[in-house]
């Protein structure tokens, strides 16, 4: 069981939501400052969002505003330390004709409102025979390890599907459960952050009919599945079950609710006229592995 470190208290937690003013008016004034204990030092989590010059800007210190697992731990040797986070996204995003960016090790697909990056990829890999595997760089082969959804390799993730990179950066590989719980929306669409192209990111829940605000709220499903057969030259399934590697998954149009970037166009509480938006889901790809907006 993952050990949790206690929160002390929220100093401030405010937001400015104006759904009627378009993309630029939503959560432009979100600020979060939380004093928390992260052994052996007490840190203050800070995230400040602003909107100016056509950009949505984030200044944060990379310290989560919720309890985390203990770091270092037996499967993650890195200690969480404050970071300098300075990011900027389009304030009024537009879709391009196709995918504009794909994820990779330490290429975040977006940032949660609390300033923590959503970074689904790992730097772990194996060679074809599976006789040489490294949990981080340098790459030793084509087969990229998944952080979630498999049990062969352990990355020391906590109950929020987060862990710490070398250098001390805490980040999420999946739904940030403790942060979602803190937002306290229950079974409702919950905006948790912004993608690198400026479109919003929601966690788990969406409307059963994408264009209908009055339709039931359901758990949204991605459209990826495990391949029926492993790729040629893949390390043996008998040792590395399907789902161990990123290459084990395939996008299947229409099999779920979302597109290949784990997004769709539809209405949301903040955008009742509809907007393209992403989801962090319970199953692969967890966090979107690509974005479709113009940077």
Q: Is the dihedral of CA 208, 26, 89, 191 positive or negative?
A: negative
Band of pLDDT at residue 36, cut at 50, 70 and 90: low
- Token readout for 249 is 């998954």
- Please tell me which residue, 9 or 246, carries the higher pLDDT value: 246
- Token readout for 77 is 């040797």
**Does residue 117 have a pLDDT over 50?**
yes
**pLDDT score recorded for residue 38:** 53
3-state secondary structure of 256: coil
Report, as an integer, the average pLDDT of 31-42: 66
**pLDDT score recorded for residue 293:** 96
* Cα–Cα distance for residue pair 95/99, rounded to 1 Å: 9
| Alpha-carbon distance values, 158 to 73, 79, 90 (Å) | 10, 13, 31
* Structural contact between residues 136 and 144, judged by C-beta atoms closer than 8 angstroms: no
- Token readout for 156 is 């020391």
**pLDDT score recorded for residue 35:** 66
Report, as an integer, the average pLDDT of 13-37: 61
Helical residues (DSSP H) of 153-263, grouped into ranges: 177-183
**Does residue 259 have a pLDDT over 50?**
yes
* Cα–Cα distance for residue pair 80/228, rounded to 1 Å: 39
**pLDDT score recorded for residue 107:** 84
Band of pLDDT at residue 23, cut at 50, 70 and 90: low
Report, as an integer, the average pLDDT of 145-158: 97
**pLDDT score recorded for residue 25:** 80
* Structural contact between residues 196 and 101, judged by C-beta atoms closer than 8 angstroms: yes
Average pLDDT, rounded, for the chain: 90
From the list 43, 21, 49, 44, the residue with the least C-alpha distance to 33 is: 44
Report, as an integer, the average pLDDT of 157-178: 97
Lowest mean pLDDT among 98-112, 215-229, 242-256, 274-288: 98-112
Asked whether the bond before 16 is cis by omega within 30 degrees of 0, the reply is no
Question: What is the longest distance spanned by two Cα atoms in the chain?
Answer: 57
**Does residue 19 have a pLDDT over 80?**
no
| Alpha-carbon distance values, 86 to 13, 19, 228, 253 (Å) | 20, 25, 42, 36
Band of pLDDT at residue 41, cut at 50, 70 and 90: low
| Each residue's pLDDT tens digit, 219-242 | 999 999 999 999 999 999 999 999
**Does residue 18 have a pLDDT over 50?**
no
* Cα–Cα distance for residue pair 134/121, rounded to 1 Å: 14
% of the chain beyond a pLDDT of 70: 89
**Of 14-28, 101-115, 138-152, which has the strongest mean pLDDT?**
138-152
Report, as an integer, the average pLDDT of 56-78: 95
* Cα–Cα distance for residue pair 131/128, rounded to 1 Å: 8
* Structural contact between residues 164 and 76, judged by C-beta atoms closer than 8 angstroms: yes
Q: What is the pTM of this model?
A: 0.91
| Each residue's pLDDT tens digit, 47-64 | 999 999 999 999 999 999
**Does residue 89 have a pLDDT over 90?**
yes
**pLDDT score recorded for residue 17:** 36
């Amino acid at each position: 069981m993952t050990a949790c470190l206690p929160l002390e208290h929220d100093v401030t937690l405010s937001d400015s939501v104006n759904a009627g003013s378009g993309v630029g008016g939503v959560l432009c004034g979100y600020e979060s400052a939380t004093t928390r204990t992260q052994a052996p030092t007490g840190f203050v989590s800070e995230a400040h969002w602003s909107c100016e010059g056509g950009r949505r800007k984030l200044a944060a210190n990379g310290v989560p505003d919720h309890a985390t697992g203990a770091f270092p731990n037996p499967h993650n040797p890195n200690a969480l330390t404050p970071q300098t986070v300075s990011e900027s996204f389009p304030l009024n995003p537009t879709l391009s004709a196709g995918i504009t960016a794909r994820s990779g090790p330490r290429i975040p697909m977006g940032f949660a409102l609390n300033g923590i990056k959503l970074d689904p990829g790992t730097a772990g890999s194996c060679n074809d025979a599976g006789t040489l595997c490294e949990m981080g760089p340098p790459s030793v082969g084509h087969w990229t390890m998944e952080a979630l959804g498999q049990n062969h390799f352990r990355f020391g993730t906590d109950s929020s599907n987060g862990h710490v990179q070398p250098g001390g950066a805490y980040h999420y590989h999946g739904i940030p459960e403790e942060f979602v719980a803190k937002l306290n929306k229950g079974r409702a669409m919950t905006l948790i952050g912004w993608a690198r192209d400026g479109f919003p990111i929601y966690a788990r829940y969406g409307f059963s009919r994408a264009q209908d605000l009055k339709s039931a709220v359901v758990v949204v499903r991605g459209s990826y599945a495990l391949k029926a057969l492993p790729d040629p030259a893949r390390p043996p399934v008998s040792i590395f079950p399907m789902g161990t590697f990123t290459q084990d998954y395939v996008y299947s149009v229409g099999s779920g609710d979302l597109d290949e970037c784990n997004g769709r166009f539809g209405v949301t509480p903040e955008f009742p006229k509809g907007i393209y938006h992403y989801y962090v889901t319970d199953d692969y790809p967890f966090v979107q592995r690509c974005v479709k907006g113009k940077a």
